[in-house]
A and B are shown apart, each in its own frame.
Chain A
Amino acid sequence: MGGEGSGFGIGDAVRRKEDRRHLFGRGQFTADLRIPRLQEVAFLRSPIAHGRIRAIHVPEGLRDRVVLAGDLRGARSIRAVTDAPGFNAADFPLLASDKVLFVGQPVAMCLAPSRAEAEDIAQAIDLEIDELPAVVDMEAAVRPDAPLLHEGWGRNVFLTREFEAGDLERARAEAAVTIERTYRLNRQAGVSMEGRAILAHWDDRLDELVVWNSTQMPHQVRYALALHLDLDEHRIRVVAPDVGGGFGLKNIVYPEEIAVAALAAQVRQPLRWIEDRREHFLASIHCRETLYNVTAFATAEGRLLGVDVTVQVDAGAYATWPNGPNMELGMAIKNVPGPYRLEAYRARGWTAATNKAPIGPYRGVARPGACFCIERTIDEIARAVGREPHEVRMENMVRPDQMPYRSLTNMLYDNGDYAESVRIAADLVDVASVRARQAQGEADGRLIGVGFAAYTEQTAHGCGEWITRGVPIIPGYESCTARLMSDGSLQLLVGIQSHGQGLETTLAQVAHHELGVPFERISVRHGDSALSPFGMGTFASRSMVMAGGAVARASRMLAARIRPIAAQLLQCTPDAITLRDGAAHGPQGSVDFAEIGRVAYVRQEGLPRDAAPTLDVTATYSPEIDTGVFCYSTHAAVVAVDPGTGTVEILDYAVVEDCGTIVNPMIVDGQIVGGVAQGIGNALYEEIPYDTSGQPLATTLADYLLPGAPAIPGIKIAHMCTPAEHTEYGMKGMGEGGAISPPAAIANALRDALADTGAELCETPMTPRRVLAAILAAESRIHAREAAE
């Protein structure tokens, strides 16, 4: 291939093209854009969790600065429908006019030349709301006597799912060990450092709506705007400029975005809304809030026989576009079996509606919970049979000779050696030395422990898999236009969006690998619906596999166009041509890409008779299988707990993972560490509690703790690299994975550290208070037992 050995091909730790602008402070985030006549938007939001709007009093003289629901013309409420039996749909109004269903729900837009003045207007509006009883707890929400959020629903349930395979009764009967547990992942937020942002204006020359939006999926936003506004899609352009983190929460089209775009089209006035941090906590999607009740059956040796689980998801008040809150439940049910051979499995669950912010996909989607459920349970089985948890894990895992392995939940695990990842992880944290250290005790009185958590993650799934989820948009492909320019440089126009993943670099590596165009002469353009062919965006650990595949295909199509031209110029046959080092090489000589480009664009007479001018091709790509390729991983954590204060320190952390062929190891490791850091946030710090009236109690970064530099230890990483058989180069997706295991690994490490006390952590985040409470509860159980004896 063209890029081999250059240092810029597949497998090389190439430095990123995107770094320079950010390092000079010249990144272009939505809030950095300047446009004349701009008006700032501030949203008036509901201060009440559940209520009926009686009146909205806008002070005299301000009415023309305030936009209420009835003022928006030709803009429709959001309706996200999941194709599943019994699904309850509900409109999510762009601006509430009748009921409000969560604190922070947008009610009015206030316009002014500065944000401060827009907020003054919002503060001046008097909003009268008749308060209704708030539904805050997901278990109470589904009881028959609970107040209903949405009229016409029989119960506060979006969706129910059930699944059963294998003979659970036999597993129950044969079990020597039965483990029953309740696990709770509390509500948290995604917290990209840049919040959501939108700038919309009408371009009179092109007669189109231009929307600059901090989004992970500009083409889907364009589609959504056409769906929700009375505007043809050809008159909408959506651009995602630099995007300061997404993690799933910008993979959604929210009421605010549609309202701002609709109003900009209606009043032909440039408008901008920049979400502030409090709004982010109030009204960007929340995530994770799930409750697992699990019963697991195992033999006396610790062989897993069956699992019976009930999953409850707290989805908040509305379904967001496109997928609503409903992937959580289905994915939780699918992923509980994890990397294990399981012969009997029953899962039931429902997604409850509550008076809280809507939930949505955040890095890992449902899998951190599913992993917590099965991995904590495996540890309990190991303890019950008196064995090392990592050994019990290895014995229960799907073996390499069973690959490809169809799980009970119909996932096709493609390849790899799961148990080996556990073994390497155990080596990396040196379990034997942890055990020795435990036997000795710590000088400072802290207790140390080691814990593991493994997962196998479906990535880059195709059409068929998405259909099973009942989602309205099927993101089974990606696209790329590759354009060799007249001077031999190359442009790649792609439909994904890169907001930290480094795709401007890695996609260039792919094209360089295929064509041998010098790396620095390749540019990747993304994030602009007017520039690139339609693409789905960056989410679901898909972009490298999908867009990388599209770039590879487009590059090869381009190579097939270049060869005959080169052959003509070099007087040989096309199949004698090789492409490398920026030139086409024939048996007797070479011609560089600049010459080929010149001929293709401006010297048509030099082309072979049947060759079309220009060098511009477009390819779409879907992986050869729909069921995805599975990136798997084992995490191991060593922690120290202070039994006096409940404080947890992570002493050591190892990740062993297999994402197949690695395109850029520096970027892959960066994604892993970044994911682990978010997982540590999930495990130890991040939470949005609500009080009983439905008020969120963490709406600033002072209340909502994000992990800082001292919270994230140095992370050891080992790669296994089993190439996938069904993707270009053998790549597997890996962006989300780092965030999946940390809560489970850390909870298991705590369990190990506190083994003598019998304390267990079954809830995230494991704050010092929760850790201390668990220790105290265990102590009082011990005291009660001693008193009884």
Chain B
Amino acid sequence: MIRREIALEVNGRSVHASVEPRQSLADYLRDGLDLTATHLGCEHGVCGACTLLLDGEPVRGCITLAVAAEGRRVDTLEAFDEDPLMNLLRQAFSEHHGLQCGFCTPGMLLMARDIILSDRVASDAELRVALSGNICRCTGYAGILRAISAAREAWQARPHAATGPA
């Protein structure tokens, strides 16, 4: 079996591992590191359940190779237990019923956080488009959209919003 050594940073910790080149980053995190927040809903790039951050940017974990993450920083939902914006999102998702079965939720949260921080989205229609690569089969999106809007408002209204880092 072909294997490659890799070193990368996962959720703030450096890890070294020997992986098969064919292993996806999502599979490595799940099977190699037992980080199971990254879900697999399609394994061909469409559903967004496997969304994670690579060097701070959301990518598909299912079609990113673990070997290609050599030397990079990877963050999964597990890294955000204390993150203030993620906690606002959590509260809003619960309040607005933004999840039912919870399978799409980790991917949704990471995408939502990126949408709020990057400030690319102005209208409800744009928010829908920005979220169009994350599929939820349960909620019909209504609660998710409301939750993200509410969290965004709370985030922008927080004290020191202009200066505080994410």
Contact = CB atoms under 8 A, between A and B. Distances in A.
Interface of A: 15-16, 18-27, 29, 31-32, 34, 114, 116, 191-194, 242-245, 247, 276-277, 499-502, 666-667, 669-670, 673-678, 700-702, 706, 708-710, 712, 714-715, 738
A603 B40 CA distance: 51
A502 B139 CA distance: 12
B68 interface: no
Contacts of B125: 710
Given A701-B42, A712-B141, 12 more contacts: A34-B34, A192-B137, A193-B101, A194-B101, A242-B102, A670-B142, A673-B143, A674-B139, A709-B134, A709-B141, A709-B145, A710-B125
A24 B109 CA distance: 10
Contact of A18 (B20, B46, B102, B137): B102
B66 interface: no
17 contacts: A19-B90, A20-B94, A22-B106, A23-B109, A25-B37, A27-B102, A191-B137, A192-B103, A277-B44, A670-B100, A670-B143, A673-B142, A701-B44, A701-B135, A709-B128, A709-B129, A709-B144
Contact of B43 (A276, A677, A678, A706): A276
B25 interface: no
A298 B125 CA distance: 44
B102 A674 contact: no
Q: Tell me which of A193, A669, A676 has the highest count of chain B C-beta atoms within 10 A of its own C-beta.
A: A193
Interface stretch (B53-61, B76-84, B153-161): B76-84
B157 to A, nearest CB: 21
Contacts of A673: 139-143
Given A19-B94, A709-B144, A712-B141, A674 B40 contact: no
A666 B132 CA distance: 24
B141 A243 contact: no
A714 B128 contact: no
B39 A29 contact: yes
Contacts of A19: 90, 93-94, 99, 102
A116 B135 contact: no
Contacts of A674: 100, 137-140
B131 interface: yes
Interface of B: 20, 22-23, 30-31, 34, 36-44, 46-47, 49, 76-78, 81, 90, 93-95, 97, 99-106, 109, 125, 127-129, 131-145
B97 A116 contact: no
What is the interface of chain B mostly: helix, strand, loop, or mixed? loop
B142 A714 contact: yes
B94 A16 contact: yes
B142 A715 contact: yes
A32 B102 contact: no
Contacts of A16: 94, 97
B100 A500 contact: yes
A677 B140 contact: yes
Nearest to A498: B101
A244 B144 contact: no
Contact of A193 (B23, B41, B133, B144): B41
Nearest to B96: A666
A20 B99 CA distance: 10
A709 B31 CA distance: 31
Nearest to B100: A500
Given A34-B34, A116-B23, A193-B137, A700 B99 contact: no
Given A276-B43, A673-B140, A245 B131 contact: no
Contact of B103 (A15, A244, A678): A244
Q: Tell me which of B23, B137, B141 has the highest count of chain A C-beta atoms within 10 A of its own C-beta.
A: B137
A277 B103 CA distance: 14
- Lowest 6 A-B CB distances belong to which pairs? A25-B37, A22-B102, A244-B103, A500-B100, A677-B140, A500-B101
A191 B41 CA distance: 10
A709 B138 contact: no
Nearest to A114: B31
A361 to B, nearest CB: 16
A15 B100 CA distance: 12
Given A193-B137, A673-B139, A277 B41 contact: yes
A669 B139 CA distance: 10
A399 to B, nearest CB: 32
Contacts of A715: 140, 142
A20 B20 CA distance: 34
A753 B67 CA distance: 54
A20 B109 CA distance: 13
A667 B109 CA distance: 20
Contacts of A500: 100-102, 138
A261 to B, nearest CB: 23
Nearest to B148: A709
A585 to B, nearest CB: 33
Q: Tell me which of B81, B102, B127, B132 has the highest count of chain A C-beta atoms within 10 A of its own C-beta.
A: B102
A706 B137 CA distance: 8
Q: Tell me which of B20, B134, B142, B144 has the highest count of chain A C-beta atoms within 10 A of its own C-beta.
A: B142
A209 B102 CA distance: 28
A700 B46 contact: yes
Contacts of B93: 19, 23
Contacts of A247: 137
A738 B95 CA distance: 22
Given A116-B22, A677-B140, A702-B44, A244 B101 contact: yes
A502 B125 CA distance: 29
Contact of B46 (A245, A667, A702): A702
Contact of A710 (B31, B102, B129, B138): B129
A245 B103 contact: yes
B61 to A, nearest CB: 13
Contact of A24 (B23, B39, B81, B95): B81
A712 B134 CA distance: 13
Nearest to B144: A709
A116 B20 CA distance: 10
A423 to B, nearest CB: 24
A277 B43 contact: yes
Contacts of A675: 140
B104 A193 contact: yes
Contacts of A194: 39, 41, 101, 103
A654 to B, nearest CB: 13
B53 to A, nearest CB: 13
B97 A667 contact: yes
Contacts of A27: 102-103, 105
A716 B143 CA distance: 13
A673 B142 CA distance: 7
Contacts of A667: 97
B162 to A, nearest CB: 28
Contacts of B37: 24-26
Nearest to A245: B101
A499 B142 contact: no
Given A25-B37, A674-B100, A245 B22 contact: no
A164 B142 CA distance: 43
Nearest to A675: B140
A24 B37 CA distance: 8
Contacts of B131: 708-709
A15 B95 contact: yes
Contacts of B49: 193
B40 A670 contact: no
A556 to B, nearest CB: 30
B128 A22 contact: no
A107 B40 CA distance: 25
A40 B49 CA distance: 22
Nearest to A673: B140
Nearest to A18: B102
Q: Tell me which of B23, B76, B139, B141 has the highest count of chain A C-beta atoms within 10 A of its own C-beta.
A: B141
B102 A244 contact: yes
Q: Tell me which of B77, B94, B138, B145 has the highest count of chain A C-beta atoms within 10 A of its own C-beta.
A: B138
Contact of B135 (A29, A501, A706, A714): A706
Nearest to B24: A116
A139 B83 CA distance: 58
B99 to A, nearest CB: 6
